[in-house]
């Protein structure tokens, strides 16, 4: 498995190309510039087979339609955030009024504990509500490393805000306790900012200590 990071507008969102096979893989959170994401994937030697969304906010989904139209990749999102794909207000698109919000369609609705397979690589769905009701982390365990594609659930030394549609700080605290109780270490690849590890965040993140 190989991972390529793209930092995309309009809010500097981390989009991840995850190459799972010889020439195929998935994209996680294509924030914008779908054609650029497709070009980057081609340069990476990867056809996009699936579009995995950690949550439904506009700054994580803006490139979905271009990618889906060009590749026929299926769109995966948690059931509680599906509504954000068709409602710009719920998706917080008003933060960037100059960019037109486009409705999108989910193909696969996710629940906690679901597994998504691509080329033998398993992405396990962990429901982590708080930032939004349908936020999830995608957990991938390999022989070399464990990865957590965390969206805006947790950042290096911080967490996602919880004051948008369906955000809930009380629920978010329960999610953080859930993360604290995970015994394995994971490389955390968040929706914004630098990579970190779960052990580092347990030690230094003020919201997990």
Active site residues: 59
d(CA 95, CA 65): 20
Report residues of the chain scoring pLDDT below 70: none
> Is residue 209 in a domain?
no
User: How many domains would you assign to the chain?
Assistant: 1
CATH number, position 179 = 3.60.15.10
Identify whether 84 is part of a domain: yes
d(C-alpha 184, C-alpha 199), whole Å: 9
Q: In this structure, is residue 67 part of a structural domain?
A: yes
Q: According to the model, what pLDDT value does residue 209 have? A: 81
pLDDT value for 159: 98
pLDDT of residue 99: 87
On whether residue 160 sits in a domain, the answer given is yes
Residue 178 maps to a domain: yes
Q: How far apart are CA 152 and CA 57, in angstroms?
A: 10
The confidence score (pLDDT) of residue 5 equals 98
Q: Is residue 33 part of a domain?
A: yes
Q: What is the pLDDT of residue 26?
A: 98
Closest CA to 99 of 38, 189, 13: 13
User: The whole model's pTM is what?
Assistant: 0.98
> What's the confidence (pLDDT) of residue 98?
85
Residue 18 belongs to some domain of the structure:
yes
Each residue of 15-48: pLDDT tens digit? 999 999 999 999 999 999 999 999 999 999 999 9
Q: The domain containing residue 49 runs over which residues?
A: 2-204
């Amino acid at each position: 498995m190989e991972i390529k990071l793209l930092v995309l507008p309009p809010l500097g969102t981390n989009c991840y190309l995850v190459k799972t096979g010889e020439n195929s893989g998935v994209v996680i959170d294509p924030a914008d510039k779908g054609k650029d994401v497709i070009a980057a994937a081609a340069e990476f030697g990867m056809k996009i087979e699936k579009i995995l969304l950690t949550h439904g906010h506009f700054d994580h989904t803006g490139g979905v339609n271009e990618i889906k139209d060009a590749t026929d990749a299926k769109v995966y999102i948690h059931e509680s955030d599906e509504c954000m794909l068709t409602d710009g207000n719920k998706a917080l698109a008003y933060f960037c009024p100059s960019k037109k919000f486009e409705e999108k369609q989910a193909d696969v609705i996710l629940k906690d504990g679901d597994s998504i397979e691509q080329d033998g690589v398993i992405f396990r769905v962990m429901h982590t509500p708080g930032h939004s009701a349908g936020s999830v982390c995608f957990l991938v365990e390999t022989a070399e490393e464990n990865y957590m594609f965390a969206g805006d659930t947790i950042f290096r030394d911080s967490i996602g805000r919880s004051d948008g549609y369906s955000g809930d700080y009380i629920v978010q605290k329960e999610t953080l306790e859930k993360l604290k109780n995970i015994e394995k270490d994971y490389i955390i690849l968040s929706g914004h900012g630098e990579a970190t590890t779960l052990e580092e965040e347990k030690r230094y993140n003020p919201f997990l200590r």
